[in-house]
Structure 1
């Protein structure tokens, strides 16, 4: 019940934040020129690597630590202060050379404002991590939509006032300030403290390993563009980007929502003595029941989706997107392995897993020296297999989770894949057989409806654990509708 409530609170906050961000992009895009937006985008890209080090893994350290008292919290605050202030100094000193590198003074102006965020960051991030640890999701949800609201209002206001590319920077800065003020109102007296050098060793060691794993993961996410751009050219990179973008665009929000609740909840359960192997498998059973069918249906509908969203010039991306979605579906039983290892304090083991996975991916990408883009994407299956082997071994050594036991738990969720895919597959086959493949939106609409019916049928026929969640949701909606009906009747 608590997890359901936390997910609903964070879900509403994420939805509000998405709508605010989308509205801000629409309005600002009409007020500013592409050049002005480009100046800000380049400046933020420069900060990309710095953001990995900004809290030095302290947030994850506080969430997973067995005990957190005043001493541990002060040490975490101090590590965040030293790392973020050092980054602020380096970025401030580098702003002019970077502006000369990109031949625009606006880069230096934007960086000057954004550097202030790094000075403010220590007075908010550790306390937010403490709220995560204490599962205070009502505060976390409020912080999420409140800061996004402030950032949207300030950004749009500054754009109207003629602040040009500085509008987004001012929005980000004011949102940080408001967040710190709000946190001080919610948890007075817990933000401001003197930094220390005593007791920071454990937080520093954990943070350094966590940050290194994040860097490897960040480099891995950029490796396809960097390597294929050199070996195959920009056009091939664009086709792969569209194929990858289909998966990210449709499921990234779901993953972000679930992970915001999963990590602190998993760490809290581990501290209370719950069996980590059973907890991970049970959690993945619910996640796989949602994500695997979505990815499978996307694999079936890749071509009409690509053509409807991006146009016929991207048709070559469709088979690539299908393969990428299939590989992602196979990996769904291990979706949050990294967060689970970190929650158990196994940050070194997580670093080793990330290093092996990214090394295999780089080797596969380097095969593009001899192979075509399609062949390279097919070889991504080797990366998938390597990830399963490495992650399963790490989970066994950490929690004692055996592959057979894990698959036995998530197998009912995987059975929902054919139930969800049958209808869309028949719809696509019918459209192709009758010369209707050009009607992309009707195909997607019908396929989506059939996928939903197939999924619900599978849940009830197979008596999947999601059946209880569906019945609970139906009951909640009925109560809401009934209460409104009674109010209208009065």
Structure 2
């Protein structure tokens, strides 16, 4: 499969999965669950995910990036994956009762049991999914992700409507992992490493050990806000924070996940061929910031009318938190694939040092911010993002060799595009309707105007992504014309 087709399938997978998950979250939050109930689930899910990060053990990156992956290496990797993942799943189940004691809420116990049980199925999907990505078979990846999302949404909404409360979300998470395991196994030929093989496992363990430490740091940075805010500010506060965080992160994953999943194996091929990654990395920066920055800026500016329209009045306090977290995500997007590129170039040690430092800073800042509520915690997260950027930008330049002038030129063009995208909405706030009073219908015209102004600005300033946008537009128009011609 070509890179363009792979990106198309991966993009469709991310878009449809995001749409399903997003629509499901709106239905559940607006009609069935309160912020406190969502907060309770968020604490349970964050606690289990913090432990479950050990499950993957870096096997996805190992299988996709390993230069010479034979049957014996694959068998060993799968065996290690099962042994580690099932061991971690048992730890999660054992931690259910102590966590409910720690938070003083017995309702956490059944939530963690169900969520923890879902991780028993995770290892059955890790290796099959990685093999499909290594083969650039993103059609199968589409089936895996969309099938899992549909299953989660169907179960969660059905049980929430039946009055099961936060347990509906837990059962949805379990159903999602079962579906992912079944579909990934089906698409890869029902593989299972039996008998288990651990000969030559030292190489896998060395790679997995370093990669897992990195994942621990990343998980602490992303999951600790829910646990810290929940422990200090309560279930309602963490419910509001987690909803805002989910919106911002889901938008970024929607817009970048496809590129990440395709470009990692593509960059691995360039590395194997001895090519420089400097210019390709700058093209990646231009693509990320040129497209994602305007979307995140729009999310930040439109937070009040958007949250009110989607979730209803009881979720209004999500809006200011969402604006701050969208700004933080803009900072993270400024350095795309900040972990994957160093790992490809053999510098996992440098990633571990920087990520460990940034994680410690994040936890410390969140402990301080959470004492003053969700907005203060979100402000602390923005400060953490800025510190993370400083730690990584010089490191990535030393590895790829990109030019400072090229990097900041991309940033300047993308910022102009982002400013143009939100200008019509800001003008409406200033002269027509304030954000707290704007309806969803009133939001649509300035958003459309912003998209058109953004495109015009990109063309005027000759942004590097303009040729890609023109190519995509011409392909889309051509396909539409051919379809109309065949129908007539």
Deviations 1:118-170 (A, max 9, x none): 5xx25x42232233223222332233334556777899999999x99796577
CA distance in 2, matches of 1:235, 1:26: 17
Aligned to 1:460, the other structure's residue is in SS state helix
**Which stretch has the larger CA shift, 174-183 or 327-336?**
174-183
Q: Which position in structure 1 is the counterpart of 2:466?
A: 467
Q: Is the 8 A contact 1:295 1:326 kept in 2?
A: yes
1:439 aligns to what SS in structure 2? coil
Change in Cα spacing, 1:156 to 1:478, as seen in structure 2 (3 Å) is: same
Cα distance per residue 1:267-324 (max 9 Å; x no partner): 2332232312222221111111101111222333333334434455665554444343
Residue 51 of structure 1, CA deviation: 2.6
1:388-410 Cα offsets, whole Å, 9 max, x none, are 11111321343234544422344
Instruction: Determine whether 1:478 maps to 2:477.
Output: yes
Partner of 1:278: 279
5+ residue gaps in structure 2?
Answer: none
Q: Comparing 144-153 with 134-143, which one deviates more in the overlay? A: 144-153
| 2:486 alignment partner in structure 1 | 487
**C-alpha contact 2:325 2:378 (8 A) present in aligned 1:** yes
> Which residue matches 1:9?
9
| CA distance in structure 2 between the partners assigned to 1:487 and 1:85 by the alignment | 53
Instruction: Give the number of the structure whose alpha-carbon radius of gyration is greater.
Output: 1
Match of 1:179 in 2: 183
Cα gap change, 1:295 to 1:99, in 2 (>3 Å): closer
Whole-Å separation in 1 of the counterparts to 2:302 and 2:349: 40
Deviations 1:15-57 (A, max 9, x none): 4445555787799999x999x9999988766642443122311
Q: Distance in 2 between matches of 1:468 and 1:126?
A: 36
- TM-score if structure 2 supplies the norm length? 0.80
Mapped contact 1:428–1:443 kept (Cα < 8 A): no
Partner of 1:128: helix, strand, or coil? helix
Separation (CA, whole Å) in 1 of partners of 2:51 and 2:146: 24
Segment of structure 1 superposing worse, 323-332 or 345-354: 323-332
Which of 117, 120, 134 is residue 121 of structure 2 equivalent to?
117
Gapped regions of structure 1 (runs ≥ 5): none
Contact 1:150/1:171 (<8 A) preserved: yes
Q: Is the 8 A contact 1:353 1:394 kept in 2?
A: no
| Larger RCO (CA under 8 A, 6+ residues apart) | 2
Name which of structure 1's ranges 280-289 and 7-16 shifts more when overlaid on structure 2. 7-16
Partner Cα separation in structure 1 for residue 152 and residue 264 of structure 2: 26
Partner of 2:186, secondary structure, is helix
Q: Distance in 1 between matches of 2:181 and 2:391?
A: 42
CA contact (8 A) 1:113 1:173 kept: no
1:191 Cα deviation after fit: 4.6
Would the aligned equivalents of 1:427 and 1:443 in 2 still touch at CA under 8 Å?
no
CA deviations over 1:240-283 (Å, ceiling 9, x no partner): 44554552354442233333223333323322323122222211
The 5 A counterparts of 1:289-308 are 289-308=290-309
Q: Secondary structure at the match of 1:117?
A: coil
Contact 2:26 / 2:310 at 8 angstroms: preserved in 1? no
CA contact (8 A) 1:152 1:171 kept: no
Partner of 2:141: 140
Contact 1:216 1:354 in 2 (8 A): yes
Q: Which structure 2 residues correspond to residues 209-220 of structure 1 after superposition, within 5 A?
A: 209-220=210-221
Question: Is residue 231–residue 369 contact of structure 1 (8 Å, CA) maintained in 2?
Answer: yes
Any conservation in 1 of the 2:39–2:235 contact (CA below 8 Å)?
no
Task: Compute the displacement of 1:380 (Å).
Answer: 4.5
Counterparts of 1:342 and 1:225 in 2: how far apart (Å)?
28
**Cα distance change, pair 266–426 in 1 and its aligned pair in 2 (3 A):** same
Cα distance change on mapping 1:141 and 1:311 into 2, 3 Å: closer
User: Does the 8 Å CA contact 2:148/2:179 hold for their aligned counterparts?
Assistant: yes
> Judging changes above 3 Å, is the alpha-carbon distance between structure 1 residues 199 and 404 closer, same or farther for their aligned structure 2 residues?
farther
Deviation at 1:333, TM superposition (A): 1.9
Q: In the TM superposition, what are the counterparts of 1:65-144 in structure 2 within 5 Å?
A: 65-90=66-91, 102=106, 110=114, 114=118, 116-117=120-121, 121-122=123-124, 124-144=125-145
Between 365-374 and 125-134, the greater mean CA deviation after superposition: 365-374
In structure 2, the partner of 1:454 is: 453
Q: 1:76 to 1:398 in 2, by over 3 A?
A: farther
1:462–1:75 Cα change, 3 Å: same
Instruction: Please name the residue that 1:389 is paired with.
Output: 390
Give me the whole-angstrom Cα distance separating, in 1, the residues matched to 2:269 and 2:95: 41
User: What is aligned with 2:63?
Assistant: 62
Q: CA deviation at 1:228?
A: 4.3
Quote the Cα distance in structure 2 between the aligned partners of 1:96 and 1:315. 33
Give matches, 1:413-424, under 5 Å: 413-424=414-425
Q: 1:279 to 1:235 in 2, by over 3 A?
A: same
Query: Aligned pair in 2 of structure 1 residues 291, 202: CA closer, same or farther (>3 Å)?
Result: same
Q: Quote the Cα distance in structure 2 between the aligned partners of 1:274 and 1:77.
A: 31
Coordinate RMSD, CA, aligned? 4.4
Distance 1:430 1:476, change over 3 A: same
